[in-house]
């Protein structure tokens, strides 16, 4: 593992994004899709990334507040301006459109909703925080990234990660940019992977609840 120090940080994200790409080419039935994604990515985290996963939280209440704040910022534009997401900046051939990949039947399947929520709350925060703020934010400062402490700051690395994080979120790139900057800032403040994973999990958990109970399926791309 020491020969490839980046592997535990990159591998889960690469597999995760591979499933996103594969779904557009060869979509599986909703339940099978959720099971396969959850099991495979979880296995990569356990068998490849476990040595670098640190779940210790140092600022519990503030981290919960950051996670909740990002959730509010994420849904605010669409609440304030109902047709905001239809503007060409957010609905085009590059960003795609805010449409759910979950079928109508899947939206009424308890098992599908549960597995999709588990993936969003437990798997995705670990995968994304390992990659974006555990690895890339440090690697952009120095390719021998293990010599760079978590939360080290340079403006270039900070904003490059925020922009790339935004691009990952397609038609929600604007709020993705705000979220990326907020998470980056919290990493600089806490220097704690565990705090970032928890903040991200709270954001995603609140978003899952909002999607399901308000019927805002478009947030689940």
DSSP string, 80-92: HSTTGGGSTTTSB
In this prediction, residues 189-217 reach a mean pLDDT of 98
Q: Among residues 124, 98, 172, which one has the least CA distance to residue 12?
A: 124
User: Quick one: pLDDT at residue 126?
Assistant: 98
Q: Do the Cβ atoms of 221 and 212 come closer than 8 Å? A: no
CA distance 105 to 118: 19
In this prediction, residues 100-118 reach a mean pLDDT of 96
List all residues 6 or more positions away from 115 whose beta carbon is below 8 Å from its beta carbon: 31, 34, 35, 38
CA distance 34 to 148: 36
Report pLDDT digits (tens) over 122-179. 999 999 999 999 999 999 999 999 999 999 999 999 999 999 999 999 999 999 999 9
- Mean of per-residue pLDDT scores for the chain: 96
pTM for the full model?
A: 0.96
CA distance 190 to 133: 12
pLDDT band at 3 (very low <50, low <70, confident <90, very high): confident
């Amino acid at each position: 593992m020491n020969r490839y120090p980046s592997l535990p940080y990159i591998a889960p994200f690469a597999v995760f994004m591979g499933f996103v790409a594969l779904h557009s080419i060869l979509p599986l039935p909703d339940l099978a899709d959720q099971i396969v994604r959850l099991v495979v990515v979880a296995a990569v985290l356990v068998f490849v990334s476990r040595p670098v996963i640190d779940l210790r939280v140092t600022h519990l209440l503030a981290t919960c507040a950051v996670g909740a704040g990002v959730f509010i910022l994420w849904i605010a534009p669409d609440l304030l301006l109902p047709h905001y997401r239809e503007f060409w900046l957010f609905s085009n051939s590059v960003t795609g459109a805010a449409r759910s990949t979950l079928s109508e039947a899947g939206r009424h399947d308890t098992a599908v909703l549960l597995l999709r929520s588990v993936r969003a709350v437990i798997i995705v925060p670990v995968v994304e925080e390992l990659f974006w703020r555990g690895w890339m934010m440090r690697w952009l400062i120095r390719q021998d990234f293990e010599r760079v402490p978590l939360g080290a700051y340079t403006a270039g690395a900070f904003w490059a990660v925020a922009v790339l994080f935004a691009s990952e979120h397609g038609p929600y790139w604007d709020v993705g940019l705000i979220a990326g900057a907020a998470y980056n800032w919290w990493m600089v403040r806490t220097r704690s992977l565990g705090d970032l994973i928890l903040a991200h999990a709270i954001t995603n958990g609140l978003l899952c609840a909002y999607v399901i109970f308000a019927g805002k399926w478009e947030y689940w791309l």
